[in-house]
């Protein structure tokens, strides 16, 4: 069932190590078929080297596993929470890319210092609050999705303008109109985080980008007729 969806999710998952966004079995990617309310996600704990398209696990939006011999990713409830909250997205990616994860572990958003950043995000890449001991001890992965949704709802962020978040003490989650776009955003987040870290080393008091430059770069990429194709490494 849904062979094409499983293939799409598979391609996104194997792209993560190819772009240096994860090590070992960290990270996961998922793609949703909105017409069926089913998403395909990486199986838990399987080395990316051994992954096959048919290993992808199918889960519905109620959290029920509808197909797959293997256990779905441990982060499946987080992906599901995001698919339910952000109805325009078609794919979610979670990585542990080093520089973006450094900002997440430090509880820092990624400040917008330049046009590379402004091409993808309409401002700083936000970080969530820390999760409470209660949230960690109960439905941790679902609550991880909740703190992301809470961050976006409280700031009135449009998930299309900010297709990424840093989960405090954890790592980045990204999304897009399809999972290939979510992979591209994950590549951009890691590039931008690395540049931001180096910029802060060069100038610890560096102010964020001027509004006119942000508007010019973001709007020319995301305005009417903008090209949404996938690019390679940053």
> Which residues in 64-103 contact ligand 5SP (CB under 6 A)?
73-75, 94, 96
Q: Total residues contacting ligand 5SP (rule CB under 6 A)?
A: 12
Q: Taking the alpha carbons of 225, 230, 231, 233 in that order, is the dihedral positive or negative? A: positive
Structural tokens at position 233? 């490494």
Catalytic positions, written as ranges: 119, 228
Structural tokens at position 32? 């949703």
**28 near ligand 5SP, judged by CB under 6 A:** yes
Position among 42, 81, 151, 217 found at the interface with ligand 5SP (CB under 6 A): 42
Position among 23, 26, 102, 194 found at the interface with ligand 5SP (CB under 6 A): 26
Neighbours of 99 (CB within 10 A): 19
Least distance from C-beta 140 to ligand 5SP, angstroms? 10
Instruction: Measure the CA–CA gap between 58 and 179, rounded to whole angstroms.
Output: 15
**Residue span binding ligand 5SP (CB under 6 A) among the ranges 41-49, 60-68, 99-107, 196-204:** 41-49
Q: Which residues contact 125 (CB under 8 A, 6 or more apart)?
A: 100, 103, 109, 110, 112, 117, 162, 164, 165, 166, 172, 189, 192, 193
- Give me the 168-207 binding string for ligand 5SP, x by CB under 6 A, dash otherwise: ----------------------------------------
Least distance from C-beta 196 to ligand 5SP, angstroms? 22
Nearest to 177 by CA among 93, 116, 94: 93
Q: What is the DSSP letter of 129?
A: P
Judged by the rule CB under 6 A, the positions of this chain that interact with ligand 5SP are: 25-28, 42, 44-45, 73-75, 94, 96
């Amino acid at each position: 069932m849904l062979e094409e969806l499983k293939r799409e999710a598979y391609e996104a998952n194997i792209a993560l190590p190819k772009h240096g966004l994860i090590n070992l079995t960290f990270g996961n990617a998922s793609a949703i078929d909105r017409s069926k309310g089913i998403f395909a996600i990486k199986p838990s704990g399987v080395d990316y080297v051994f992954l096959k398209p048919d290993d992808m696990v199918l889960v519905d939006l109620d959290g029920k596993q509808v197909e797959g011999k293997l256990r779905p990713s441990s982060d499946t409830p987080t992906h599901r929470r995001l698919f339910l909250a952000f109805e325009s997205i078609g794919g979610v990616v979670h990585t542990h890319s080093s520089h973006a994860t450094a900002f997440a572990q430090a509880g820092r958003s990624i400040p917008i210092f330049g046009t590379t950043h402004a091409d993808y995000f309409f401002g700083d890449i936000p970080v969530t609050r820390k999760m409470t001991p209660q949230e960690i001890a109960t439905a941790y992965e679902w609550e991880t999705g909740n703190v992301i949704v809470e961050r976006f709802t409280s700031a009135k962020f449009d998930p299309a303008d900010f297709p990424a978040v840093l989960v405090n003490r954890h790592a980045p989650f990204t999304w897009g109109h399809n999972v290939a776009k979510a992979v591209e955003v994950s590549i951009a987040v890691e590039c931008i985080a690395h540049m931001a870290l180096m910029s802060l080393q060069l100038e610890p008091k560096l102010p964020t980008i001027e509004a006119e430059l942000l508007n010019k770069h973001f709007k020319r990429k995301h305005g009417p007729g903008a090209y949404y194709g996938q690019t390679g490494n940053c």
